[in-house]
Amino acid sequence: MIIKSIKLINFRNHSTYQLVCEDETSLILGENGCGKTSVLEAIYILTRGKSFRATDSEIIKNGTDYYRIELEFVNGEKNIATYDGSTKTFHILDKKTRRLPKKQKYPVVLFLPSDLNLITHSPSRRREYFDRVFAEFNDSYSVSLSKYQKALKQRNELLKNDFLTKEALFSWNLVLAKYGTELFNYRYKYIQEINKHLTSTYRSIAKNDDEVEINYKTEINNYSEEKYLSHLEQNFERDSYLGHTTFGVHRDDFVFYFNHKPAEGSASRGECRSIILALKFIEADLIYQKTHQKPLILLDDVFSELDETRRRCLVDNFKNNQVIITSVEMHNTSS
């Protein structure tokens, strides 16, 4: 599905804005703070159903009480989203819905400047990153993650109660055990798939013989619902004292290894950036394999963070996708 244009009204600092897109590569130029990322955010909302960085109430332009975004495709179809200060509504094929329908979701590879520091980020940032990636090609992952997070929030609220009993947590423990185990199985499977190609893809960029791997770190080696439930119950006293859930997949991490050593501390800045480029290329391939759709590529001001060789590699790898790039300066993006 090729985007023809995107129109924003009262969206962040844009009163009105329209971008007419090229079928292959579109470039949005402007100084920092002028709202370039907001355009990509609007596109993401109408292709994935929600923002990648904020809640709807934070998106409305100051001094206004609604926002509206329109995404038109080359086949004539149009997706519209409006938010009136309390409710977001999608207008799809003359129907209104509170959520973007599954059939209208389109896979996206989103590349943010912060992604280039993924290796040195906190575990929570890495979890957020991989959660977003896996959700691009598996809607069931999104469902499991949402249900897990809601149950975790409820359990943590109960843990603040001074007179809490084990029995009061049992139903939430069951939910966490079910969806936590599902998330573990998905994550383990997909990290294995990424690792099959990570070293070879990295070598195609770096032109050397280094080895790269991602280690999915969990608190136990093999989750099952029974094991999960048992750990939650065993941690009751500790969780009650601390006021939050201390065991579960919400504490997992994804650690990068470079030549069998943690990449943080052993890989140079350039090597880390080549690792992330390789990861992005694999992400796009996985999406295509699993959805049979070429993902839309959104690149937010990453060219300024890459040298000429890596810029060229990025452009060449995504030359068969529709790409929308933001930048503070002009770069040669032709093949």
Provide the pLDDT for residue 262.
Answer: 96
- Write the DSSP string, 59-120: HBPTT-S-EEEEEEETTS-EEEEEE-SS-EEEEETTEEESS--GGG---EEEE-GGGGGGGG
Please identify which residue in the block is written with the tokens 């590569």.
Answer: 25
Q: Are 8 and 36 in contact (CB under 8 A)?
A: no
Low-confidence residues of the chain: pLDDT under 70? 330-335
Task: Name the strand (E) or helix (H) holding 165.
Answer: none
| CATH 3.40.50.300 residue spans of the chain | 1-106+303-335
- pLDDT on residue 330: 63
Token look-up 């996985």 returns: 286
Tell me the pLDDT tens digit for each residue of 260-284: 999 999 999 999 999 999 999 999 9
pLDDT computed for residue 332 by the predictor = 59
State the pLDDT at residue 303: 87
Sequence-distant (6+) residues with CB within 8 A of 61 are 10, 11, 12, 13, 14, 15, 67
| Residue position matching structure tokens 């940032």 | 125
Structure token digits, residue 11: 């969206």
Q: What's the CATH fold of domain 120-294? A: Glutathione S-transferase Yfyf (Class Pi); Chain A, domain 2 (1.20.1050)
Burial 98-117 (b: 16+ CB within 10 A, else e): eebeeebbbbbbbbbeebbe
Q: What are the residues whose beta carbons fall under 8 Å from the beta carbon of 316, sequence distance 6 or more? A: 335
Per-residue pLDDT at 30: 87
Judge whether 324 and 26 are in contact, CB under 8 Å.
yes
**pLDDT value of residue 335:** 44
DSSP bridge pairs for 14? 11
- Res 223: pLDDT: 85
Strand partners, 253: 217
Asked whether the beta carbons of 296 and 47 are under 8 A apart, the reply is yes
Instruction: Give span(s): CATH 1.20.1050.90, the chain.
Output: 120-294
> pLDDT tens digits for 104-125?
999 999 999 999 999 999 999 9
Tell the residue number behind the tokens 């997992």, with chain if given. 252
Q: Could you tell me which CATH number the domain at 1-106+303-335 has?
A: 3.40.50.300
Beta bridge partners of 78: 72
| Percent of the chain predicted with pLDDT > 90 | 87
On whether the CB atoms of residues 120 and 201 are closer than 8 A, the answer is no
The residue count for the chain: 335
DSSP code, position 222: S
Contacts of 302 (CB under 8 A, 6+ apart): 111, 112, 113, 115, 116, 314
Distance CA 330, CA 212 (A): 32
Its pTM stands at 0.88
| 100 touches 89 (CB < 8 A) | no
